[in-house]
Amino acid sequence: MALGYAVLLIISVSVLFGLLYWNTAVFVAEQTEETIEVEISGLAEHYQKAGLVGLSEVIQERSRGQRLSLYLLTDPNRRPLAGNLNSWPTASMPGDWIDFEYQRPIGSRIVEHRAHARHFVLPGGYNLLVGYDVQDQVRLERRMRGSMIWIGALALFLGLGGGLLMARHWLRRIDNVNKTAREIMDGDMSRRVELSGSDDELDRLARNLNAMLDRIEALMAGLRQVTDNIAHDLRSPLNRLRSRLEVTMMEDPDKGVYRTALVDTMREADELLKTFNALLLIGEAESGLDWSKLESVDLSTQTNDVAELYEPAAEDAGIKLRAEITPDILVRGNPNLISQAIVNLLDNALKYTPSGERVLISVGIDSAGDAYFEIADSGPGIPESEHENVLNRFVRLEGSRSTVGSGLGLSLVAAVAKLHQARLMLKDNKPGLAVRMSFPRLMSA
Amino acid sequence: MRILIVEDDTDAATYIAKALGEAGHVVDMAANGEDALEIASESHEVLIVDRMMPKLDGIQLVEQLRSDGVVTPVLFLSALGKVDDRVEGLRAGGDDYLVKPFAMAELIARVEALGRRKGTPEAQTKLVCGDLEMDLITRDVRRGDSKIDLQPREFKLLEYLMRNATRVVTRTMLLENVWGYHFDPQTNVIDVHISRLRGKIDKDFDKPLLETVRGAGYRLNAAD
């Protein structure tokens, strides 16, 4: 990772600097040629006005002193006539641009300089060379090349170093995630991955991990709640059962007494099993949240079947059970659990509705577009102020249950609602109670 | 009937064997799936198979038996009671599924219902029980000379009772097979349905056909 980062940095620095170098060199070279062109047009003017002699004089004039412009006028045999160059520097054709080295006196020393020049031929075969000392340009280019090596080295160093630092930074953050994972595996479920606050990919990963951990923790808490409840709901009746057996054995051996005790014990065991099964089912609904395993369920048919199952029992109890069911309403769910929730609610409603009253079971679509089933009785109802409490008791699997029936039954309803992402609502039926479960509606495919 | 119990919990198996023995059946026992493969024979009319066993488990055993061409009805016993587990058991080739713990009366009733199944062709179009007749195609039900009108669910209930005539049928079996529910409502709604059915098939006749078996369920008797 550090190496990759360094290579990338070096490549970008090289490209940047290469462009800069090339542009500068081209610009300076163009400037030089422009200067030479200006000189040439000046000299051409003199030649036209004053001929070869005039031109020669001007050249002699301009050649004095330390100017950077270079001139050489020769006869057709390239013997120098005027100018500040001693001899024709290199073979060339008329019109050529040429580059050459020449000896330039600087103070008392003679130094070799580079020059750029153009070759002209005048009428009569006279040759004219007009040029410019480009030693400064050469030096600039040389310096730029030198800098480039240094900058390259620096980029390599910074790239590697910076890359290493950055890699260490990321590795530290990943290690932070690992550390949290280890702590969680060691049993501290409350640990969460720290966020850096930068909202980058790693932060988002950490946030998702944390959300997942929250979910797992909630499921574990739910499971613990279920086991606690199982312990509570089973311990007391088991204790009762054991005490009965113990006390029976203390008494005088008598076949009749033994038989009664056994019958009672068996009945108690049956109740225990019922409780146990109910708790397991609640546990399944509470923690077995496998949304993908849920199927399309016809809520209308399910509800209708339950109503039909209970209709004779209701009639026997003197209660009028009426069903108002909108057909073909589909929800996503587990048909067995949904049926059981409806059964439990209906069971409860029939239990609390006095003879001669009515119970209405309905299925429909509410104003929000959700599918619902509702069971409304005209029994004693529950005061509005208590609705919240009752719902909480539904949800929290309140431990204080004296009879197996209602408490567990309603807890199961709450668990089923939770599993189906359904809302459970209590309403005053004036008189009586209406319990409604609304599901996200599933449009038929 | 001759019945094979495949169960690694030998205490539990012994109780079951005793209860079935009391009910007049002959019982063999195997403690695991591998033994069961050797012991199982044509003479067994029903296999009772525990789902979770060492070596070959119940599912594997039944799959093996079915692929060997053995068609003996299988009742699974299992401590796993989720709907998925039941489906898995039936898919493996089981014919019924009973979740532990269970009442012996329930087990016996189911075993006897399975043993019967063998002799009752599914393709039958007419069920007869004494002077009670049910035509499965025209959906006519008659007792003696009188025609009996039944609601669709009552028809289904009576059909199930007639298919299992002279055998005890439990409330749970009725809930499962007539209503398709795999749970027990708290109120005993089945009793009310039975008494309604009774009102239609027994009320105006001298000899009642539908009998309540205390502590177990119901039985439709062929009046003789």
DSSP line for A168-214: HHHHHHHHHHHHHHHHHHTT-TT--PPP-SS-SHHHHHHHHHHHHHH
- pLDDT given for residue B76 in this prediction: 94
Q: Is A183 part of any domain? A: no
- pLDDT given for residue B121 in this prediction: 62
Sheet holding B146-148, edge to edge: B126-129, B132-135, B141-143, B146-148
Mean pLDDT of A163-182: 87
Lowest mean pLDDT among A17-26, A287-296, A431-440, B175-184: A287-296
Of A270, A309, A405, the CB nearest to B186: A405
* Same domain? A20 vs A118: yes
- pLDDT given for residue A360 in this prediction: 94
- pLDDT given for residue A111 in this prediction: 85
User: What residues in B contact A316, CB-CB < 8 Å?
Assistant: 192
User: What residues in A contact B155, CB-CB < 8 Å?
Assistant: none
* Same domain? A24 vs A117: yes
Mean pLDDT of chain B: 88
Q: Is A299 part of any domain? A: yes
Full residue range of the structural domain in which residue A113 is found:
2-142
- CB-CB neighbours of A419 under 10 Å: 22
- Per the document, the length of chain A is 445
Comparing B199 with A89, the larger pLDDT belongs to B199
Of A281, A310, A334, the CB nearest to B189: A310
Residue B137, min C-alpha distance to chain A (Å): 23
User: What residues in A contact B193, CB-CB < 8 Å?
Assistant: 309, 312
* Same domain? A297 vs A269: no
Comparing B224 with B194, the larger pLDDT belongs to B194
CATH number of A355's domain: 3.30.565.10
Lowest mean pLDDT among A76-80, A301-305, A371-375, B15-19: A76-80
User: What residues in B contact A409, CB-CB < 8 Å?
Assistant: 186
Comparing A155 with B5, the larger pLDDT belongs to B5
Contact B181 A277 (CB under 8 A): no
Q: How confident is the model at residue A394 (pLDDT cuts 50, 70, 90)?
A: low
- CB-CB neighbours of B183 under 10 Å: 19
* Same domain? A301 vs A279: no
Residue A323, min C-alpha distance to chain B (Å): 17
* Same domain? A275 vs A305: no
Would the pLDDT of A365 be above 90?
yes
Tell me which range, A65-74, A218-227, A363-372, is most confidently predicted by mean pLDDT: A363-372
Q: How confident is the model at residue B169 (pLDDT cuts 50, 70, 90)?
A: very high
Complete DSSP assignment for A253-321:
P-HHHHHHHHHHHHHHHHHHHHHHHHHHHHHHHHH---GGG-EEEEHHHHHHHHHHHHHHHHHHTT-EE
Mean pLDDT of chain A: 83
Q: How confident is the model at residue A304 (pLDDT cuts 50, 70, 90)?
A: very high
Whether the CB of B181 is below 8 Å from some CB of chain A: the reply is yes
Contact A313 B187 (CB under 8 A): yes
Residue B198, min C-alpha distance to chain A (Å): 13
Q: Is A166 part of any domain? A: no
Mean pLDDT of A41-52: 85
Mean pLDDT of B128-139: 91
- pLDDT given for residue B224 in this prediction: 58
pLDDT tens digits for range A71-116: 888 888 888 888 888 888 877 788 888 888 888 888 788 888 888 8
pLDDT tens digits for range A209-238: 899 888 888 878 877 776 777 777 778 788
Q: Is A113 part of any domain? A: yes
- pLDDT given for residue B118 in this prediction: 53
Residue B186, min C-alpha distance to chain A (Å): 7
- CB-CB neighbours of A102 under 10 Å: 21
* Same domain? A243 vs A324: no
Number of structural domains chain A divides into: 3
- Report the distance separating Cα A201 and Cα A209, nearest Å: 12
* Same domain? A300 vs A278: no
- pLDDT given for residue B75 in this prediction: 95
* Same domain? A75 vs A11: yes
Contact A313 B189 (CB under 8 A): yes
Contact B82 A288 (CB under 8 A): yes
Q: Is A151 part of any domain? A: no
Lowest mean pLDDT among A284-293, A366-375, A379-388: A284-293
Asked whether the beta carbons of B40 and B68 are under 8 A apart, the reply is no
Would the pLDDT of A400 be above 70?
no
Lowest mean pLDDT among A233-247, B135-149, B158-172: A233-247
Q: Is A25 part of any domain? A: yes
Contact B187 A280 (CB under 8 A): no
Contact A284 B192 (CB under 8 A): no
- CB-CB neighbours of A278 under 10 Å: 23
Would the pLDDT of A322 be above 90?
yes
Q: What is the DSSP letter of A420?
A: T
Domain final position from A255, A270, A287: A287
User: What residues in A contact B82, CB-CB < 8 Å?
Assistant: 284, 288
Interface pTM (ipTM) of the complex?
A: 0.82
The residue of chain A nearest to residue B187, with distances taken between CA atoms, is: A347
Domain final position from A102, A123, A142: A142
Of A273, A284, A347, the CB nearest to B186: A347
Question: Cβ contacts of residue A237 below 8 Å, gap of 6+?
Answer: A268, A271, A272, A275
Domain final position from A233, A254, A287: A287
Contact A409 B187 (CB under 8 A): no
Contact B103 A308 (CB under 8 A): no
Task: Report percent pLDDT > 90 for chain A.
Answer: 13
Lowest mean pLDDT among A45-59, A219-233, A279-293, A305-319: A279-293
Residue A430, min C-alpha distance to chain B (Å): 26
Q: How confident is the model at residue A395 (pLDDT cuts 50, 70, 90)?
A: low
- pLDDT given for residue A149 in this prediction: 86
Residue A336, min C-alpha distance to chain B (Å): 7
pLDDT tens digits for range A271-302: 787 777 777 777 777 665 566 677 899 999 99
- pLDDT given for residue B19 in this prediction: 94
Alpha helices in A317-368 (DSSP H): 335-352
CATH number of A61's domain: 3.30.450
- pLDDT given for residue B162 in this prediction: 93
* Same domain? A362 vs A421: yes
Contact A343 B81 (CB under 8 A): no
Contact B185 A277 (CB under 8 A): no
- pLDDT given for residue A401 in this prediction: 41
Mean pLDDT of A362-376: 93
User: What residues in B contact A310, CB-CB < 8 Å?
Assistant: 187, 189
**In chain B, residues 80-139 whose CB comes closer than 8 Å to chain A:** 81-84, 99, 101, 103
Q: Is A275 part of any domain? A: yes
Task: Report percent pLDDT > 70 for chain A.
Answer: 93
Would the pLDDT of A403 be above 70?
no
- CB-CB neighbours of A32 under 10 Å: 20
Q: How confident is the model at residue A402 (pLDDT cuts 50, 70, 90)?
A: very low
* Same domain? A232 vs A126: no
Angle (CA) A349-A354-A357 rounded to 5° is 85
Torsion of the alpha carbons at B86, B89, B94 and B98, rounded to the nearest 10: -40
- pLDDT given for residue A137 in this prediction: 86
Q: Is A178 part of any domain? A: no
User: What residues in A contact B182, CB-CB < 8 Å?
Assistant: 336
Q: What is the DSSP letter of A377?
A: E
The residue of chain B nearest to residue A276, with distances taken between CA atoms, is: B101
The residue of chain B nearest to residue A347, with distances taken between CA atoms, is: B187
Q: Chains A, B: CB contacts under 8 A, how many?
A: 51
* Same domain? A20 vs A50: yes
Comparing A379 with A346, the larger pLDDT belongs to A346
**Domains parsed from chain B with CATH numbers:** 2-117 (3.40.50.2300), 126-220 (1.10.10.10)
- pLDDT given for residue A164 in this prediction: 86
Mean pLDDT of A263-274: 83
The residue of chain A nearest to residue B103, with distances taken between CA atoms, is: A270
The chain A residues in contact with chain B (CB within 8 A) are 270, 273-274, 277, 280-281, 284, 288, 293, 305, 308-310, 312-313, 316, 334, 336, 339-340, 343-344, 347, 350-351, 405, 409
Q: How confident is the model at residue A15 (pLDDT cuts 50, 70, 90)?
A: confident
Angle (CA) A192-A196-A202 rounded to 5° is 80
* Same domain? A378 vs A336: yes
